Amino acid sequence: MTTIDFVKGHGTQNDFVLVPDPEGRLDLTPRDVTYLADRRAGIGGDGVIRVAPLSAAPDDVREQCPDAKWFMDYRNSDGSVAEMCGNGTRVFARYLVEQGLETSDTFAIATRAGRKEITVVADGFATDLGPWRLARETEANERGMDSVVQVHGAPDPLPALSLDLGNPHTVVALPPQIDLSALDLHTAPKVDPTPEHGTNVEFVRAIEHAHISMRVHERGVGETRSCGTGAAAAALATWWWGGRPADQLDWIVDVPGGRLGVHIAADKVALSGPAELVASGTVKLPD
């Protein structure tokens, strides 16, 4: 068996197994990832993050992120490769800072969704998630929606809006008669039309001015306690449905695992919140 180091961390209880790979030599297989993420047989996490040097990133990632030192190689808990993870960027940043691998208050990291700029803030870290867009803008502008979602706990399909934040999201604003806590997210909601590469699905309840709560079913994972890009997508969709008011650019998003901040600026969006490292050790990968 191969023995590797690991660090366990979370951002608003969206948890990850970090695998330090400073030389960029480790090749994690889907089987390795599912084992590490297994909550009974492995370490347990919503995803696995390999901490690798930029030189170990794919060519297109290196081209997009020439000033980054470190590549966030993110995998979903089912072993599939993903573009990035918003909460994961903060946990990744926490590791880099605590290990002395980054010493500035602002630095860039490389992801499959491009360059992400991290800033140290009072409550943890803020990540500039970069540009966002409506996935089917023409239809969204014509109808105020572009898809429907069927979920256990709702009697009928619900209208939804699709957004691209470097990874795919489908956001549903729940009508008053449906309780957010009553939804059953043990199985993946059905999205029509079905996105080619799957989607994260967020269910949103408005609380007050620029303040929402949400639950999420993550592609390749299931329901998680938090989703950073999902929180940003939920805030953006709610803001868009509300007519994109100029006085509602700073949002509070409550998730089961805590609270996140979302800031909307022109065609970009930023995410802020806490990140904690809770354990470290070694683990043997299965043969």
Catalytic residue numbers read 85, 227
- From the number of C-beta atoms within 10 Å of its C-beta (0-12, 13-18, 19+), residue 285 rates as middle
Closest CA to 129 of 275, 226, 273, 270: 270
Phi, psi at 73, each rounded to 5°: -90, 95
Question: Structure tokens of 121?
Answer: 């803030």
- Say if residues 75 and 33 touch (Cβ distance below 8 Å): yes
Phi, psi at 135, each rounded to 5°: -70, -35
Q: Note the Cα 241 to chain centre separation in Å.
A: 22
> Quick count: other Cβ atoms within 10 Å of Cβ 266?
7
Q: How far apart are CA 26 and CA 29, in angstroms?
A: 9
Q: How far apart are CA 158 and CA 74, in angstroms?
A: 31
Which spans in 66-222 are helix H?
Answer: 86-98, 137-143
Q: How far apart are CA 243 and CA 164, in angstroms?
A: 19
Beta-sheet strands, E only, within the chain: 2-11, 14-20, 47-53, 70-76, 106-111, 114-121, 124-131, 133-134, 147-150, 158-164, 168-173, 190-192, 200-208, 211-218, 222-224, 250-255, 258-265, 268-273, 276-285
